[in-house]
Amino acid sequence: MAFTYGPFVVLCSSCQKPSLATVHGSITESTHEHDHAQVLHLASCQDCGSGLLIAQGIDQGAEGEEFTSPVIRWPSPAGSVGARVPAALRQEYEQARVCYQAQAYTAVAVMVRRTLEGVCTEEGVKRRTLSQSLSALQEEGKIDQRLVEWAAELRVLGNEGAHYTGSQVSPEDARDALNLAQAFLDYMYTFSTQFEEFKARRAKRHQKNT
Ligand SMILES: [Zn+2]
């Protein structure tokens, strides 16, 4: 008997309401990441009836297959990041977005900080502070100077957000932090990757012509 998925609790990206999504069909595909596959579900919102494409990761854990929480891929929820962002970092960022929707603004700052730390770790950079790690990424030419400045200006990403200070993060600062995380991930994993691929294609074409 075929395994059936769902229904899933989602924040529908068509009607913008929390709703149940009924799954009509699913396919499993392998990804370029080791020990990680994903299931794509064609589903519909039980509230507005719109079609939704929902992705769910499958990790090979010690106790067998573990499913990650479902994420809507299409229609693209506002503020979503590209499909090339590694699954672990995407999950951190998605949690930051969920916190923002729940108006848990201090938690947004914590999750954005974790997301940026995650990028540094994935890139093999580990300095004493987050801002030192970001500067190191810039020195290696992996990120733009403007992203480093943006992060430095956001005080909620430093001690103010990471430790207990008795004050809460404002909605505006949370929004700015979330926007930075989105720009950061898209720069690292969409813009940079596509640019590298373009350069590789051009070099190949050049080789052929000489
Ligand atoms: Zn809906």
> How far is ligand 1, taken at its centre, from the CA of residue 23, in Å?
14
> How far is ligand 1, taken at its centre, from the CA of residue 199, in Å?
41
Specify the pTM.
Answer: 0.70
> How far is ligand 1, taken at its centre, from the CA of residue 88, in Å?
27
Alpha-carbon Rg for the chain, nearest whole angstrom, is: 19
What stretches in the chain show pLDDT beneath 70?
A: 1-3, 159-162
> How far is ligand 1, taken at its centre, from the CA of residue 20, in Å?
8
Q: What pLDDT shows up at residue 123?
A: 94
Q: What pLDDT shows up at residue 120?
A: 95
> How far is ligand 1, taken at its centre, from the CA of residue 79, in Å?
18
> How far is ligand 1, taken at its centre, from the CA of residue 5, in Å?
18
User: 119 and 89 in contact (C-beta within 8 Å)?
Assistant: yes
> How far is ligand 1, taken at its centre, from the CA of residue 170, in Å?
29
> How far is ligand 1, taken at its centre, from the CA of residue 14, in Å?
5
Q: What pLDDT shows up at residue 2?
A: 57
Q: What pLDDT shows up at residue 161?
A: 66
> How far is ligand 1, taken at its centre, from the CA of residue 10, in Å?
9
Measured in whole angstroms, the distance separating CA 197 from the mean position of its chain's CA atoms is 21
Q: What pLDDT shows up at residue 1?
A: 45
Query: CA-to-CA distance for 2 and 44, rounded, in angstroms?
Result: 20
Query: CA-to-CA distance for 113 and 102, rounded, in angstroms?
Result: 18
List, for residues 170-190, the tens digit of each pLDDT value.
Answer: 999 999 999 999 999 999 999
b/e burial code for range 80-105 (CB count within 10 A of at least 16 → b): bbbebbbebbbbbbbbbbebbeeebb
Q: What pLDDT shows up at residue 11?
A: 86
Helices marked H in the chain: 87-101, 105-122, 130-139, 145-153, 159-162, 171-186, 192-209
